[in-house]
Amino acid sequence: MIVFPQTQQGDNLMENLEKEVIQPSLGDKVGNFLGFVGIHVACIFAIWTGVTWRSLVIAFVLYWTRMFLITGGYHRYFAHRSYKTSRAFQFVLAFLGTTAMQKGTIWWSARHRIHHKHSDEPEDIHSPKVYGFWQAHIWWFLGNKHGSGITDLSRVKDLVKYPELRWLDKYHWVAPIMLTGLCYYLDGWTGLIVGLAWSTVIFWHCTFLVNSIAHIWGSRRYQTKDDSRNNWFIALLTMGEGWHNNHHHRQGYARQGVKWWEIDTTYYILRLLALFRLIRDLNPVSKNKLKSDPVEETAVELTAP
Ligand SMILES: [Zn+2]
Ligand SMILES: [Zn+2]
């Protein structure tokens, strides 16, 4: 169980958090594992529930909505702060993001920032280069090795200062339970099995591909210190996250597909949200920045193996 300090305020709190590394309990680990396996097994029950058009529409909507919440919310906003928004909309992104069942954004962002700081080094627990494909794909959060499940709060001080985000990290299961009820209300057991379980399993594995395949297969535009790749197929499945070598090169930019033909649906939606003033100060890759970027000038086009 994640327990955050509740009583200290201001500098004292931050000083405390700087040292805080939260270990998951045995119950957390077992629950995590059973939940993951259980949703996979539940998919088979479609043999008995059948498949309806309504359940397929639910699955389609849930796949793409939650994909955006992870790519545009958890990843580009919380982990990289590539744009700004109000505290209210920040909470909306974080709360809806927990429906993706990838825990809370504090845990997610802390892990992701370690990935960038130590990409493809032993500290990067989902590096396919160091630990192999399956560790990079699923074992890094299901297994018990290399500190999986640990939350290093010193890396997310900008997030832990918000009590509502800390609450969401502790109660990340609230929104998924509400979503389960909604799917059942909309299409009964078929809504649960096809609409929710199918879409969740497919969505999970597509996002995991960014950790595994996008560090193995694809092209490299930039000579980053890691093995990150640009993979157009993963980019289509993940609303632009497959332009992973671009992203490792410029982690703070909201736009990951830097060429016009590098489809980056997350960025297009972010532009739309900016148009409606829900978010602001989007940090795109501007032409001026491209020109003044020294790594870009010396970058070499590399061929995928
Ligand atoms: Zn990466
Ligand atoms: Zn990132």
Ligand nearest to the CA of 250: 2
Q: For residue range 22-61, what is the model confidence (pLDDT) as tens digits? A: 888 888 888 889 999 999 999 999 999 999 999 999 999 9
Determine the distance separating the centroid of ligand 1 and the alpha carbon of 284, expressed in angstroms: 19
Determine the distance separating the centroid of ligand 1 and the alpha carbon of 41, expressed in angstroms: 29
Q: Is the model's pTM score more than 0.95?
A: no
**Which three-class secondary structure string do you get for the chain?**
CCCCCCCCCHHHHHHHHHHCEECCCHHHHHHHHHHHHHHHHHHHHHHHHCCCHHHHHHHHHHHHHHHHHHHHHHHHHHHCCCCEECHHHHHHHHHHHHHHCCCCHHHHHHHHHHHHHCCCCCCCCCCHHHHCHHHHHHHHHHCCCCCCCCEEHHHCHHHHCCHHHHHHHHCCCHHHHHHHHHHHHHHHHHHHHHHHHHHHHHHHHHHHHHHCHHHCCCEECCCCCCCCCECHHHHHHCCCCCEHHHHHHCCCCCCCCCCCCCCCHHHHHHHHHHHCCCEECCCCCCHHHHHHCHHHHHCCCECCC
Residues within 5 A (CB) of ion ligand 1:
228
Q: For residue range 142-181, what is the model confidence (pLDDT) as tens digits? A: 887 777 778 888 899 999 999 999 999 999 999 999 999 9
Determine the distance separating the centroid of ligand 1 and the alpha carbon of 119, expressed in angstroms: 7
pLDDT band at 286 (very low <50, low <70, confident <90, very high): low
